[in-house]
Chain A
């Protein structure tokens, strides 16, 4: 049983959610993170504000942008044709989420982003996809690039009375992707993740490239790949990109899974595997 008392509310609209939020309340999405935390009394909100009745689980495509409600679960991503078509990287990512179907049916993308855990899959993947978060608060609705939401491990720019209602991202259907996680065992948290997207022009030159690493620092780490733009991807370009990844790392993250120097060591191979995967798919 959760040791502390709380009030439970499930507003039916975004306005209702925002009105219910204050310093002493906590949003409840899938609950896979919040509920155990409350059980251990690490979080003692006076009010729990459930997002599930506010209708935030829609997936749609609007003007070739993929729009995902904050309450979409990993299972929703896996079941969606739109996700498969417009952001196949997310499908690959969701396939590798641990905890089984029960967990994938429950855990949401909004919860993963808002929790801002360094080792989580969604934050770095969304940064790679150039996702923008739609945020509602007392002052109205605004859009923030997901990359700008993260302040540190478990910390975001979201105020206590703000809620992420969804995400929007440009279509990445003309890009190939690579996604790699380094884990200790089948069901452990990742030590490092790498998400990459690559698009070639008609002449086979790299027109757009991005690589974002997760778990290696407190917040997703974007690697500058301008050095390989305009060039056909080959071994030299791969080496250059991996070198950039290593150079980008300044404050490697330490937790119970691995010390910072271990993460610094694995950054290059993890980046290389993801890039190789995206490279290999350009031939298709």
Chain B
């Protein structure tokens, strides 16, 4: 085996998996190219855009700021984990309110919104803007995203597990 290749074990969206990765790869790169999980996107690689957001051992994080091998045995949830068995209520609300176009920013927007709603099921607009502030969207101008999160929270069923009917 090439000197720079090594085996990485991750639990990705509930499945324990291994893949051969290059030691120099970022977590987002390993997820996409070695594990075939393309929900997290590559945007800035500086931590600014949030396109690569995942949940790592329960906490949301920007996966471009991690060296993949440093996360051996971690539990990772990606955007894909949200829609097992259908879209979540939050995702439906994004759909209904035109809160995305290209979808590149969705990992960051949805994980940030979900994290906020877990802490505070009834956030005001200001809190919503704060929560998504680490994420850049080049398509929507943000207002539609804020509206989607607000309308979803106002419906009174703001749990992340909530799956739309």
Contacts and interface: CB of A to CB of B under 8 A. Distances in A.
Contact of A35 (B60, B67, B115): B67
A108 to B, nearest CB: 12
Interface string B54-68: 000001111011110
A6 B134 contact: no
Interface string B70-90: 100000000000000000000
Please tell me the size bucket of the interface on B: 20 to 34
Contacts, number: 90
Contact of A100 (B22, B29, B132): B132
Interface stretch (B11-19, B43-51, B146-154): B43-51
Main DSSP-derived SS at the B contact region: mixed
A28 B70 contact: yes
Interface in A225-255: none
Given A4-B24, A105-B59, A99 B67 contact: no
Contacts of A5: 3-4, 23-24
A75 B108 CA distance: 17
A268 interface: no
A8 B70 contact: yes
B47 A3 contact: no
B131 interface: yes
Nearest to A31: B65
Given A2-B24, A101-B60, A28 B131 contact: no
Identify which of A35, A106, A187 gathers the most chain B CB atoms within 10 Å of its CB: A35
B26 interface: yes
B62 A1 contact: no
Identify which of A10, A48, A106, A186 gathers the most chain B CB atoms within 10 Å of its CB: A106
B67 A100 contact: no
Contacts of B48: 99, 187
Interface residues of A, number: 29
A50 B61 contact: no
B93 interface: no
Given A98-B134, A105-B60, A36 B70 contact: no
Interface in A22-46: 28, 30-32, 35-36, 39
A39 B131 CA distance: 27
B133 interface: yes
A36 B65 contact: yes
Given A31-B67, A101-B115, A3 B24 contact: yes
B46 A36 contact: yes
Contacts of A186: 133
Contacts of B62: 102-103, 106
Contact of B134 (A36, A48, A75, A99): A99
A35 B133 contact: no
A50 B4 CA distance: 18
Contacts of A52: 70
A1 B59 contact: no
B26 A35 contact: yes
A75 B115 CA distance: 13
B60 A6 contact: no
A30 B62 CA distance: 11
Contact of B111 (A4, A75, A99, A102): A102
Interface string B96-125: 000000000000100110011000000000
B134 A103 contact: yes
14 contacts: A5-B23, A5-B24, A28-B70, A30-B65, A35-B26, A36-B46, A50-B70, A75-B59, A99-B48, A100-B133, A100-B134, A101-B115, A102-B53, A103-B134
Given A10-B70, A101-B131, A101-B134, 19 more contacts: A1-B26, A2-B24, A2-B26, A5-B3, A5-B24, A30-B65, A31-B65, A31-B67, A32-B47, A32-B65, A35-B64, A39-B45, A48-B70, A75-B59, A99-B47, A99-B134, A100-B132, A103-B62, A187-B48
